[in-house]
Amino acid sequence: MHRRTLLALTAAGLAAPSVLRAQSWPDRPIRLIVPWPPGGSTDTIARIFQPKLAEVLGRPVVIDNRGGASGSIGAIEAARVAADGTTWMLAYDNEATNQTLLRLPYKTLEAFAPVSLVATGPLALVAHKSTPWNSFQEVVAAAKAAPDTISYASSGVGGLAHVSTTLLQQQGGFSLVHVPYRGGGPALQDSIAGQVPLFMSNVVIISQHIKAGTLKPLGVTTAGESRHVPGVKSFAEQGFPGFEAPTWWAFFGRAGTPEPILRRMQEALGQALADPEVRSKIEEQGADVKATGPEECRQFLAREIDRWGRVIRDNNIRVDS
């Protein structure tokens, strides 16, 4: 047998198990890591599309909440699993800022294979109904009159809510006290209880409390007004020209996962997100379904890492800030 033929047969033999695994995938339940506690926006969105994704794949999709350290605990776990299509992750916007803020044992664009940008949406600054402020300008004026006396909650240090609020303070020349929580769920509970007067959050977990009148929206981070918070001006329209900071959720696989499996998951996720009921429920929460392709998702993530990394460095944001 010629040496070239022998090498070709050997290579085909080595590749066969991978091809067979891809053809039979999924052959077991799918684990979806949500690197945040239950009750937050990432958990909420995951649980909206989870049943339909399981139906399309023909296998159970089990959500594994791994909260802590601004989403990095769950992400570290997802970055070290086997690249066999068994475990996936729904990432939140912290995944981009964590790349600059934290010392992580992985780099997002190397450890993960982006599958799809799932959704984007506005962040909104809300005040408890008991506070005296009915506009963002009133908050700015109060903060300038008494610096570092007004607190605002966020889902964690270095997340988009924290970094974008830092940029607002820098541009507006006022100072607030940051109160970070281990996820949006815990922050929300203290916010609706009036334990912290302000809360910068994605609209997904606060929309029902805005509608109920418990939380008063003062501004949104989209370029203009958002249909998800009607009648509320963007910060760009309130004296911060050019300010924009949409929040986002993205679906990742492990880098090295066979391409046929990645394609199959992207197709299945696209089908799930295209379902009218799934799309309606996500949009009712205050987010816009995107369902992009892998390359668009990768490029978006690269831009977010670069953009907010510069803000973090310029403002010397640290884990203890």
54 with 30: CB under 8 angstroms?
Answer: yes
Is residue 12 predicted with pLDDT exceeding 70?
Answer: no
**CATH number belonging to the domain at 123-238, selected among 3.40.50.10800, 3.40.50.2300, 3.40.50.2020, 3.40.190.10:** 3.40.190.10
Question: What mean pLDDT comes out for the span 305-321?
Answer: 86
Give the pLDDT band of residue 1 (cuts 50, 70, 90): very low
Question: What mean pLDDT comes out for the span 99-121?
Answer: 96
Instruction: Please state, for a pLDDT cut of 70, what percent of the chain lies above it.
Output: 93
Query: Which residues belong to CATH 3.40.190.10 in the chain?
Result: 123-238
Please name the residues in contact with 286: beta carbons below 8 A apart, sequence gap of 6 or more: 121, 122, 202, 203, 204, 206, 207, 228, 229
Is residue 120 predicted with pLDDT exceeding 70?
Answer: yes
pLDDT, averaged across the chain: 92
Looking at residue 23, its pLDDT comes to 75
49 with 273: CB under 8 angstroms?
Answer: yes
Assign 96 to helix, strand or coil: helix
Name the CATH topology of 3-120+248-314. D-Maltodextrin-Binding Protein; domain 2 (3.40.190)
